[in-house]
Amino acid sequence: MSVLLATKKIIKEWTDYNNHMNLSYYILVFDMSAEIILSKFKMGEHSAKTTKKSTMVVETHTTYNNEVKEGDEVDVSLSYFNHDSKRLHYKLEMHDKAKNILSATTEVLALYMDLNIRKVADFESEKIKIMNEYIKINKNNFNSEDLKFSNKLKK
């Protein structure tokens, strides 16, 4: 199980000479979908512009499981989420909507940043509360198997 974040239709500009989505656009689709959850946690684009606090990805692990082609629709879901005092750890899955098969995954480790000084910062208590509540509500939808970065959180 997982939490649906977004549905995207693959456009021609995202495909390459192999007639499938270019690897860089998988990351774009994942990143656009991650923005939805980051905004919910008050650390997405709006936060970066108004409070100068946001996240920066420091490590990823991406798998490409099945081709995605122009015109295909994909569902992007959050399959895992956790955090410590300054890090986010999450995994996203992309499924071909018509075939209902796994197309790709990306596991992400991100740091919370104070953009004024370009340094890592601790999450404010309000954001920790929002994230913990989200985890509590959705924990039965998360799958912690085969994660690469679980040992990177300092709990």
**The CATH number of 3-142 is which of 3.30.450.20, 3.10.129.10, 3.60.20.10, 3.40.50.2020?**
3.10.129.10
Which residue ranges make up each domain of the chain?
Answer: 3-142
pLDDT computed for residue 155 by the predictor: 76
How do residues 51-78 score in pLDDT, each as one tens digit? 999 999 999 999 999 999 999 999 999 9
pTM: 0.95
DSSP the chain: --EEEEEEEPPGGGB-TTSSB-HHHHHHHHHHHHHHHHHHTT-SHHHHHHTSEEEEEEEEEEEE-S---TT-EEEEEEEEEEE-SSEEEEEEEEEETTTTEEEEEEEEEEEEEETTTTEE-PPPHHHHHHHHHHHHHHGGG---TT-SSGGG---
> Which string of b and e fits 96-121 if b means at least 16 CB within 10 Å?
beeeeeebbbbbbbbbbbeeeeeeeb
**pLDDT value at residue 62:** 97
Q: Please give the pLDDT value at position 56.
A: 97
- Residue 1 reports pLDDT greater than 90: no
